[in-house]
Amino acid sequence: MPRPTGTAPAASRSRRPAGPSGPYVDLSRAEWSTLRERTPLTLSAEEVEELRGLGDVIDLDEVREVYLPLARLLNLYVEATRGLRGALNTFLGDLGNGGEERRRGTPFVIGVAGSVAVGKSTVSRLLKVLLGRGPENPRVELVTTDGFLHPNAELRRRGLMERKGFPESYDRRALTRFVADVKAGREEVTAPVYSHLVYDIVPGERLVVRRPDILIVEGLNVLQPALPGRDGRTRVALADYFDFSVYVDARPDDIREWYLERFRKLRETAFRDPHSYFRRWTRVPEEEALAYARNIWATINGPNLTQNVEPTRGRATLILRKGPDHTVRRLSLRKL
């Protein structure tokens, strides 16, 4: 955040996970692409064009070589989770709370994390479509954490407008409760709706989620560990409800350039809407507008990335590592 869309020192970033004794298997794109096997391509070039975010360069080759293997892996995880659930139900029998509800099963929850402008929204939308067209046509829902930002009026009251997107700018309790309720199998759960056009929560509007088979939760800070409560006790983290998680990674310098390029394009398109929060930046010279965007990156998005978002990378099940051209170059998959 903000979505108009200091860089960490190079020495502070390890571009590859630890070696054979580390928690990840490191794969090149070529190696990863062979894991697709017979997973069918169910998307057209036109659909990919509609799904990708502004500034992203994803195409059918990227879908075939990166996201079809990922869809296959996720389908295997979903199937394995069902098997584990069956084993647990056999073990527990009729004992324990909610035996009947437990046997019905709960949604498989996927977290997608990464910086502003890194392309995590495109990844999430692609996964929603690919998984929804899987062997059993599961019902897949996508929720972004933007809806759980505090309204701008509340952020101003707390002095947090200049920290929008930082962990403290979210209603973390409501977000965690929302995912917990979906995971518990509640028939209907609702979430607030955020508008990037007006840069605020939409009063009175709610997103309704009704017992999905798979829930994708996308956001900057979804992999953050739980913070201690006022009583000093550690709380449950949002990521504790995830069955699988993806971190979309790239060098901060590259992400900064993508952010600025997206700002340029938004200035020519969405910002021109009369209701746009950022419309004033279409009425000034381009260099003045870009100076504003650079300042936003230097004071908000960049620090948030290095202080809060990037440190959660090592908690992900899978890390997608992008090169300067926005394409995935390497992948790191956590060992079991």
* Max mean pLDDT range (39-53, 104-118, 244-258): 244-258
Query: Could you tell me if residue 1 is inside a domain?
Result: no
> Strands 328-334 and 24-28, how do they pair?
antiparallel
Q: Which domain holds residue 302?
A: 24-92+99-334
Give the closest residue to 126 by CA, choosing from 82, 65, 35.
65
Q: Is the pLDDT of residue 104 over 90?
A: no
- Tokens 């504003």 locate to 292
Query: Could you tell me if residue 189 is inside a domain?
Result: yes
Q: Is the pLDDT of residue 269 over 80?
A: yes
pLDDT value of residue 227: 76
pLDDT tens per residue across span 151-166: 999 999 999 999 999 9
Mean pLDDT of 183-187: 92
Is 184 labelled as part of a ligand binding site? Answer: no
- How far apart, in whole angstroms, are the C-alpha atoms of residue 141 and residue 80? 20
pLDDT value of residue 49: 87
For the chain, give the longest Cα–Cα distance: 69
- Residues 255 and 115: beta-carbon distance below 8 Å: yes
Query: Could you tell me if residue 245 is inside a domain?
Result: yes
Query: Could you tell me if residue 168 is inside a domain?
Result: yes
pTM: 0.90
Q: Is the pLDDT of residue 211 over 50?
A: yes
User: pLDDT-derived band of residue 254, with 50, 70 and 90 as boundaries?
Assistant: very high
Q: What percent of the chain has pLDDT over 90?
A: 74
Is 120 labelled as part of a ligand binding site? Answer: yes
User: pLDDT-derived band of residue 234, with 50, 70 and 90 as boundaries?
Assistant: confident
CATH number of the domain to which 254 belongs: 3.40.50.300
Q: Is the pLDDT of residue 272 over 50?
A: yes
User: How many structural domains is the chain composed of?
Assistant: 1
Is 114 labelled as part of a ligand binding site? Answer: yes
Is 118 labelled as part of a ligand binding site? Answer: yes
pLDDT value of residue 127: 96
Is 6 labelled as part of a ligand binding site? Answer: no
Mean pLDDT of 190-206: 96
Q: Is 276 exposed, middle or buried (0-12, 13-18, 19+ CB in 10 A)?
A: buried
Cβ neighbour number for residue 95 with a 10 Å cutoff: 7
- Residues 109 and 215: beta-carbon distance below 8 Å: yes
pLDDT value of residue 205: 96
Q: If you average pLDDT over every residue of the chain, what do you get?
A: 90
- How far apart, in whole angstroms, are the C-alpha atoms of residue 85 and residue 81? 6
pLDDT value of residue 100: 59
Is 245 labelled as part of a ligand binding site? Answer: no
Query: Could you tell me if residue 17 is inside a domain?
Result: no
pLDDT tens per residue across span 11-34: 334 444 444 558 999 999 999 999
Query: Could you tell me if residue 10 is inside a domain?
Result: no
Mean pLDDT of 118-143: 94
Query: Could you tell me if residue 18 is inside a domain?
Result: no
pLDDT tens per residue across span 165-179: 999 999 999 999 999
- How far apart, in whole angstroms, are the C-alpha atoms of residue 127 and residue 133? 10
Query: Could you tell me if residue 12 is inside a domain?
Result: no
pLDDT tens per residue across span 28-81: 999 999 999 888 888 888 999 888 876 677 899 999 999 999 999 999 999 999
**Residue by residue, what is the 3-state secondary structure of the chain?**
CCCCCCCCCHHHCCCCCCCCCCCEEEEEHHHHHHHHCCCCCCCCHHHHHHHCCCCCCCCHHHHHHHHHHHHHHHHHHHHHHHHHHHHHHHHHCCCCCCHHHHHHCCCEEEEEEECCCCCHHHHHHHHHHHHHCCCCCCCEEEEEHHHHECCHHHHHHCCCHHHECEHHHECHHHHHHHHHHHHCCCCCEEEEEEECCCCEEEEEEEEEECCCCEEEEECCCCCCCCCECCCCCECCCHHHHCCEEEEEECCHHHHHHHHHHHHHHHHHCHHHCCCCCCHHHHCCCHHHHHHHHHHHHHHHHHHHHHHHHHHHHHHCCEEEEECCCCCEEEEEEECC
